[in-house]
Structure 1
Amino acid sequence: MSKETVRRWLYFLAGGGLNTLLTYGIYLLLAQFISYQKSYVIAYISGIIFSYIFNSQVVFNVKKSWKGVLAYPLVYLLQYILGALLLNLLVERLGIPKEVAPILIIIALLPATYLLSKKILNSTSA
C-alpha cells in the first residue's frame, strides 16, 4: 500500500470521527428546540455536506462541483441499503446481538464507503 493510500485512509477515518461528533452535536443541540425527528434529519444532511467537503478537499483532493454535491448522497444511500441488509443477516440469521451488529456493519462497510466516495468524487470533480 502506498504512502498516499495510507494517508487517505487515515484522513478518511479521522473525517468519519469528526463527522460523527459534528452530527451528534448538531442533533443534541437542535433537539432542545425542535422535534428529535427534525433534528435527526438536519444533522444527517449536515453530515453528508461535511463529508462531501472534507472528503473532496482533504482525503481525495478533488475540486468540488455541483455534480459532486448532487451525486455524493448516493454513497450514503448505498451504505444505508447495504447496512440494512447486513443488519438483517447478522441479527436474524446469524444470531448476533442487535447491539453489536451495527458496529460490525460500520467496520465491514468502511472499505465500500471509502471506494464509493473515491469513485464519485473523482468522477464528478470540476
Structure 2
Amino acid sequence: MTGKLGRIVRFGLVGVLNTGVYYGLYLLFKLVLPYMAAHIAAFVLAMVGSYFMNCFFTFRTKPSWRSFLLFPLSNATNFAVTTAGLYVLVTWFAVNQRIAPLLAAAVAVPFTFIIAQLVLTGRSKPVAPPIREEERTS
C-alpha cells in the first residue's frame, strides 16, 4: 500500500503494536512501581521502539540522530493527553488502572501521526512515492 492511505494504515499497525509493547511494559513495571511511574517508564521505552518502527515501516525513512532527538516532539501531545487522561480516568472516574491507559491513548493518535510525519519526513503532507525508472520510460 502506497501513498497517504498506506502511511495511515502502516501508522495504525505500528500504533497497535507499540500500544501492545507499552501496555505490556506498563503492566510489568506496575508490579514494582506506582502506576504513574510505570506509565512514564513504559511510555519512554515504547517511544524508542516506535521511532524505529515508524522510520523503517511507516514513513520508510533512514533513522538519524536529528530525527531521533526530534521524534519525542511527535509524542509530546500523546504523552500529555495520555498522562492527563490516565490521571483523570483513575482519580476522578475510578477507572481500573489496567484499562485507563488504553482509553487515554486512543484520543491522541491523530495528532501523533501528523507530528511524526512532519518530524520524520520534513513534510506535513505525504509525498507521492518516487517514480521508478521503468515507469518513466513507459
CA contact (8 A) 2:78 2:109 kept: no
CA contact (8 A) 2:78 2:105 kept: no
Counterparts of 2:22 and 2:109, CA distance in 1: 18
* Residue 7 of structure 2: aligned partner: 8
Alignment of 1:1-126 (within 5 A): 3-32=2-31, 34-36=32-34, 37-81=36-80, 83=81, 106-107=106-107, 109-123=108-122
Deviation at 1:104, TM superposition (A): 9.0
What is the TM-score normalised by the length of structure 1?
A: 0.68
What is the TM-score normalised by the length of structure 2?
A: 0.63
Q: Which amino acid in structure 1 is aligned with residue 106 of structure 2?
A: I
Counterparts of 1:53 and 1:77, CA distance in 2: 17
Deviation at 1:38, TM superposition (A): 3.4
Counterparts of 1:38 and 1:51, CA distance in 2: 20
SS of equivalent to 2:60: coil
Deviation digits for residues 8-34 of structure 1 (CA, Å, limit 9, x no counterpart)? 1111111111111111101112222x2
User: As a proportion of its length, which structure holds more helix?
Assistant: 1
**For structure 2, which runs of at least 5 residues remain unmatched after alignment?**
86-92, 96-101, 123-138
Q: Which amino acid in structure 2 is aligned with residue 35 of structure 1?
A: L
Q: Which amino acid in structure 2 is aligned with residue 51 of structure 1?
A: S
Deviation digits for residues 22-56 of structure 1 (CA, Å, limit 9, x no counterpart)? 11101112222x21343222201012112111111
Structure of larger gyration radius:
2
Deviation at 1:110, TM superposition (A): 3.3
Counterparts of 1:17 and 1:51, CA distance in 2: 10
Q: Which amino acid in structure 2 is aligned with residue 106 of structure 1?
A: A
Deviation digits for residues 41-85 of structure 1 (CA, Å, limit 9, x no counterpart)? 22010121121111111000001011111111111113445x48x
**For structure 1, which runs of at least 5 residues remain unmatched after alignment?**
88-96
